[in-house]
Amino acid sequence: MNRILTTLAVTASALALAGTAQAQNLTIANARIITGVGGRIIDKGSVVVKDGKIVAVTEGASKAPAKGAGKVINASGMTVIAGYIDDHRHIIHGERGPAGAAKFMKDDAAREMMELLESGVTTVQSGGDSPAVFDLRSKVASGEIKGPRIIASAQVPVSKMKDEATVRAAIDKAIADYKPDSIAEVHFPITEPPSTNIPTEQETRNLAAGIDEALKFHVPFQVHTSAPGAMTAALKAGAKKLVHTPHFGWLTDDEAKQVVTAHAWVSSCTGFGVPVFGVFNHNNVPTFRDGSKWPDDILNGEGRGREAGYKAVNGRTLWDNGVDYGYCTDTNYYAPAALAHELRTLNLMFSPIDMVKILGQNSADFIDMGDKLGTIETGKLADIVILGANPMDGYWNFLTAEVVIKGGVVMVDKRGKPNAGKPIVHNP
């Protein structure tokens, strides 16, 4: 009997090794568990992880763990939540050419990937960054760089292109060259409001051709639209993944319903027009998200930072009309502060339990991983954040990640370290 059990155990661990190189079996015990499923919260319970997946979520105090349960994390007084998903971040910054990419990979990549993990982000989709993002994707997947799961986008600015044939050729080339997970950085229209929100006929044809061409390869297509009229025009051209909440003008219920009818998704980026503090300076000077002057330098700004109001209210309009509304920052600055900024703005219109859905299941849906990520549920990948404080008491407690697990691998463990359990809101 013992021999049979030993043989089974060896086989199981060999399989685990083949599948997820460093994943270990884990039990997180005595935790408050925010499941993300229908608002369910377990006051005290356990999450069991095997071979990179969640295999049990149970209520009650933990007894002695079963044999083979692996490492036990006693999370008494702590809160378990699904790993955060940023649907659109500009992961790679600096000069876009090969020299800039090389510099980013050498000087910044490892540190910035850790900063994302430390904030609780376990999956991030790039916003059409330089091709270095594909190198980064493989280095993270192989474990050479420790970081969140990278959903890598190829940049194809279709609105600027001459005609549909050029667009289709550019999409084919990007897919052949990079095998991207998505296409991105499509601004529609290219001349942004307030000067106009009406795309030209050629832009509309280009967008429709680009989406259709990418679809042939099952590659999703992210579109930036920043006005309600542009958003509905993009929906008519077949857009499904809308990167921003529109911010030039108020969205009507009818426009929001068009998103639902089109089976499309929207991610937040509500922080776009809201002044950023404590990131580019510590002198209480409001800045736009690139560190320039607020409100003067808001991209195509209307003045006085009205975009902040449009985005917040329009986000709620989308939500109330049944849109699957996810989370994105669309920034490239210090990741924990970007999370803090976006949650601060979402907090105006959404409850903490709404934010759980926005950061989790809805964001997973946006990247077509809704069946694999976004909740603490049996069968999902073990992307788990253990928070030092309860986010139901206030959004700032989402910023208290102490343990961050990706695919069953403990990537961050700050328990017992200085400032563990304290929210990170500023760039140090």
Taking contact as CB under 5 A, which single stretch among the options 52-60, 122-130, 350-358, 414-422 is the one that binds Zn ion? 122-130
Taking contact as CB under 5 A, which single stretch among the options 70-78, 190-198, 330-338, 339-347 is the one that binds Zn ion? 330-338
Nearer to Zn ion, 185 or 383 (CB): 185
Nearer to Zn ion, 265 or 395 (CB): 265
Least Cβ distance, residue 400 to Zn ion (angstroms):
28
Cα separation, 287 vs 331, whole angstroms: 13
The one-letter amino acid at 16: A
Least Cβ distance, residue 271 to Zn ion (angstroms):
13
Cα separation, 426 vs 428, whole angstroms: 6
Least Cβ distance, residue 302 to Zn ion (angstroms):
19
Q: What is the largest CA-CA distance in the chain?
A: 77
Least Cβ distance, residue 215 to Zn ion (angstroms):
21
Q: For residue 92, which of 56, 137, 36, 48 has the smallest C-alpha distance?
A: 137
Nearer to Zn ion, 86 or 330 (CB): 330
Least Cβ distance, residue 182 to Zn ion (angstroms):
12
**Token pair belonging to 131:** 């091709």
Least Cβ distance, residue 326 to Zn ion (angstroms):
14
* Binding flags for Zn ion, 74-113, as an x/- string (CB under 5 A): ----------------------------------------
Least Cβ distance, residue 410 to Zn ion (angstroms):
31
**Token pair belonging to 201:** 């006929």
Nearer to Zn ion, 25 or 270 (CB): 270
For CA atoms 95, 99, 103, 105, give the dihedral sign. positive
Least Cβ distance, residue 156 to Zn ion (angstroms):
13
Least Cβ distance, residue 185 to Zn ion (angstroms):
6
Q: Which residue is nearest to Zn ion (CB)?
A: 127
For CA atoms 159, 162, 168, 171, give the dihedral sign. negative
Nearer to Zn ion, 28 or 242 (CB): 242
Nearer to Zn ion, 127 or 228 (CB): 127
Tally Cβ neighbours within 10 Å of residue 284: 7
Cα separation, 205 vs 211, whole angstroms: 10
State which of residues 45, 52, 127, 148 lies at the interface with Zn ion (CB under 5 A): 127
Taking contact as CB under 5 A, which single stretch among the options 55-63, 284-292, 325-333, 387-395 is the one that binds Zn ion? 325-333
Tell whether residue 330 is a contact of Zn ion (CB under 5 A): yes
At 414 the three-state DSSP class reads coil
* DSSP states along 258-311: HHHHTT-EEE--TTTTSPB-SSS-SSS--B-TTSSBTTTTSTT--STTHHHHHH
Q: Which of residues 30-49 bind Zn ion (CB under 5 A)?
A: none
Tell whether residue 295 is a contact of Zn ion (CB under 5 A): no
Nearer to Zn ion, 20 or 267 (CB): 267
104-130 burial, b at 16+ Cβ within 10 Å, e below that, comes to bbeeebeebbbbbbbbbbbbbbbbbbb
Side-chain half-sphere of 58: how many Cα atoms within 13 Å?
13
Which residue is associated with the tokens 């404080």? 389
Nearer to Zn ion, 51 or 330 (CB): 330
Nearer to Zn ion, 134 or 396 (CB): 134
**Token pair belonging to 369:** 């991983």
Q: Which residues bind Zn ion (CB under 5 A)?
A: 127, 330
